[in-house]
Structure 1
Amino acid sequence: MKIGIDKIGFHTPHLYVDMNNLAVARNVEPEKFTIGIGQEKMAVPPITQDPVTLAANAALEILDEEDKEKIDFVIFGTESGIDHSKSAGVYVHHLLGLDSHARTIEVKQACYGATAAIQMAKGHIALNPKSRVLVLGSDIARYGLNTSGEATQGAGAVALVISADPKIMALEDQSAYLTADIMDFWRPIYSDKAFVDGKFSNEQYILFFSKVWEAYKEKTDHGLKDFEAICYHLPYTKMGMKALKTILDEGTEEDKERLSANYKISADYNRNVGNIYTGSLYLSLLSLLEQKEDLEAGSRIGLYSYGSGAVGEFFTGILQPHYREYLHVEQHTKLFSSRTEVTVPEYEEIFEKTLPIDGSSLELDIEKDPANICLAGIKDNMRQYVNKLR
């Protein structure tokens, strides 16, 4: 039985800041951001968007009534959780009107969370072939203004329906994974901003990739020749290329050209959104699928997931016949083209607007936010969400 990605959706806030302008404001050469780390635009979330709304908006565009009836498991991968107790997935379950007879949980392991959710979903579908699982990867990356990590911030969510006989990608069984207790990136519960040892994290990202790649080859006897493309978790777009370059010499010149060209395509969406943590790898996959029109069914795609702290995994999927018919290219093209650029001072003002943490209530103006699902405020310590379509 084939199990994999039946549908995939994406959402990002309607605001962004140009990285050239941010570089000038921070007194650094623009090329440091646009070439050095490979970022063009950074999504800026208004206060009316949080990980719950981003995930719900991403799922809203792909779910039909049959999905809502058959989804019996919702798994929300995030490292930007809004509650220490209640799963962010429960809010999304309600906002989307899913069947009440469903399990709903939240999972956490830095940027690896959505991958863990997908692997859990595969096990559920293997036992319940008629079921569907909604996997959500949603985050807002915050490091703070004028910090070393500021240029790698971002916001967005990816939603995936995992099912038997998937229309887009069948996930293969063999994968390789690794865990090590390291402190390359973390966010204590008392902080709304992450801490990162950038140089150490880059080193561990590549080290983990090397180890899981070698383990995967030993398990499968596959090599570069067997891959049409390899997609990476992208905290910034140059990071994945650094990892890819460590193995390119294992292939022919044709392999190098193919994988390098397809990597560039896979990084395009991330280049214009920024880091979305748990959804980053799947945004890279989406960019490849939607923008490389001649990517043939039957192609094997490699997927490298890395979550600081740290857990890494390399796994693969096979593109299914007519998979392009089930993508939402037009919606995503419109999403990107309809975004509004904000100035650096406007971005800084938006960044500093945060929700109260003293128990006070707050009512937010959601009219300026074009998203269908928004955060409308806080009342009695409870977030108030609105689905404008209801």
Structure 2
Amino acid sequence: MKIGIDKIGFATAQYVLNMDDLAESRNVDPDKYSKGLLLNNLSITPVNDDIVTLGASAAESILSEEDKNTIDMIIVATESSVDQSKAASTYIHSLLGIQPFARSIEMKEACYGATAALDYARLHVQKHPESKVLVIASDVARYGVNTPGEPTQGAGSVAMLISKDPRILLLNDNSVAQTRDIMDFWRPNYSTTPYVNGIYSTKQYLDMLKTTWAEFQKRFNTSLADFSAFCFHLPFPKLALKGFNKVMDKNLPEDFKEKLKENFESTILYSKEVGNIYTGSLYLGLLSLLENSKNLVAGDQIALFSYGSGAVAEIFSATLVDGFKDMLQTNRLETLKNRIRLSVEDYEKLFFEEAAIDSEGNANIPEYKTGAFTLKEIHEHQRIYGKVNDK
């Protein structure tokens, strides 16, 4: 049975921080961000925009009423959960009006969680061919002011509809995963921001890429020559570039190496404007590739490297199907230009503002601009979401 991604959508915050502005405020050379990280802008969420609103907006942009009546599983992958018990997918299920007899869960393993969700979704459709599974990777990457991680923040959500006979790409039946018990990036329950060992994490990312890729090639008797593109997890685009250089086969013909390089450049276009979206970063890279590559055709194979600190990595592959371009958007970069540009002072106020909860667990939420959905209030410790402009 052919199973894969039938539709894919994206949503991000309505506010943006320019990296040159941040560099000037932090007294660093702008090249440190523009060339050292390959970043231009970061999406910034206000207090009424979170993984639920972003995830619902991303899914709403692609789902038909027929989809909502057929979906029988919603999986949200995140490391920015709004509740230690209740899954974000239950809120999204309600906001989207998906039929009631559906399973809703949340998955976590740092930035790897969405890949685990895809694996689960594919197995579910394999067992229940008429089912559709909505997989949402939704995160707000948040670090402290003037910390090393600050320029690698961001926010966004990628929604993918998994079904049989997909119209974008097939998920191939080949993958290799690897686990290491390491402390390169983590966030204890008592901390609102993560702890990061940046240099160590970079080394682990690249070493797990190298060793997992070697095992993948050995198990499936394949090589880079069999793929038209390679997508990477994108905590920041420069790290993905290092990964691309690590897997590059110097023995490939020059024209083929150039094709791979062109397609790699297509994978990072959106991340350069949005920043880090944790679980969705790999899939934002995939979306960026599909919507911006000039040479991909049906039948092309794409390799994907997923990485989540802690750490779990997986390499798998997908095949483009006939008509995939008809399912994509062509003006997304232009749309990103419509975000509201923040001063650094406004960014610090907006991004780190928290709901002021009173003794009864109530809070009025400021009405900042969001996508289709917003956090309206907190009432008796319960988060109340709704469509924008709905009373």
Give the Cα–Cα distance (whole angstroms) in 2 for the partners of residues 389 and 74 of structure 1. 25
1:339-376 residue CA offsets vs partner (Å, 9 max, x unmatched): 1111111101112201246654222243x414210011
1:56-92 residue CA offsets vs partner (Å, 9 max, x unmatched): 0000000001110110011110000011110010000
* Structure 2 equivalent of residue 280 of structure 1: 281
1:40-79 to structure 2, matched below 5 A, reads: 40-79=40-79
| Matched position secondary structure for 1:146 | coil
1:351-366 to structure 2, matched below 5 A, reads: 351-356=351-356, 360-366=361-367
* Structure 1 equivalent of residue 159 of structure 2: 159
| Matched position secondary structure for 2:249 | helix
**Counterpart code for 1:88:** A
Change (3 A) 1:389 1:344: closer
1:114-153 to structure 2, matched below 5 A, reads: 114-153=114-153
**Counterpart code for 2:80:** S
Please report how far the alpha carbon of residue 265 of structure 1 lies from its aligned counterpart in structure 2 after TM superposition: 1.1
* Structure 2 equivalent of residue 254 of structure 1: 255
**Counterpart code for 1:27:** N
CA contact (8 A) 2:355 2:364 kept: no
Give the Cα–Cα distance (whole angstroms) in 2 for the partners of residues 227 and 348 of structure 1. 43
* Structure 1 equivalent of residue 291 of structure 2: 290
1:296-311 to structure 2, matched below 5 A, reads: 296-311=297-312
| Matched position secondary structure for 1:48 | coil
1:260-291 residue CA offsets vs partner (Å, 9 max, x unmatched): 22111110100100000000000000001111
Give the percent of matched residue pairs that are identical in Structure 1 and Structure 2.
44
**Counterpart code for 2:47:** I
| Matched position secondary structure for 2:210 | helix
CA contact (8 A) 2:224 2:249 kept: no
1:238-253 to structure 2, matched below 5 A, reads: 238-252=238-252, 253=254
What's the RMSD between the two structures over aligned residues?
Answer: 1.3
Give the Cα–Cα distance (whole angstroms) in 2 for the partners of residues 183 and 370 of structure 1. 34
Give the Cα–Cα distance (whole angstroms) in 1 for the partners of residues 303 and 389 of structure 2. 37
Name the TM-score, length of structure 2 as normaliser.
0.97
**Counterpart code for 1:298:** G
| Matched position secondary structure for 1:75 | strand
Question: Does residue 204 of the first structure (1) align with residue 227 of the second (2)?
Answer: no
* Structure 2 equivalent of residue 318 of structure 1: 319
| Matched position secondary structure for 1:259 | helix
Please report how far the alpha carbon of residue 254 of structure 1 lies from its aligned counterpart in structure 2 after TM superposition: 2.8
Aligned residue pair count: 388
Please report how far the alpha carbon of residue 337 of structure 1 lies from its aligned counterpart in structure 2 after TM superposition: 2.5
Give the Cα–Cα distance (whole angstroms) in 2 for the partners of residues 350 and 194 of structure 1. 19
Give the Cα–Cα distance (whole angstroms) in 1 for the partners of residues 37 and 287 of structure 2. 20
* Structure 1 equivalent of residue 221 of structure 2: 221
Give the Cα–Cα distance (whole angstroms) in 1 for the partners of residues 139 and 209 of structure 2. 23
| Matched position secondary structure for 1:264 | helix
| Matched position secondary structure for 1:137 | strand
Question: Mean Cα displacement is larger for which, 292-301 or 14-23?
Answer: 292-301
Please report how far the alpha carbon of residue 333 of structure 1 lies from its aligned counterpart in structure 2 after TM superposition: 4.2
Give the Cα–Cα distance (whole angstroms) in 2 for the partners of residues 317 and 134 of structure 1. 18
CA contact (8 A) 1:131 1:163 kept: yes
Please report how far the alpha carbon of residue 16 of structure 1 lies from its aligned counterpart in structure 2 after TM superposition: 0.5
Question: Does residue 84 of the first structure (1) align with residue 84 of the second (2)?
Answer: yes
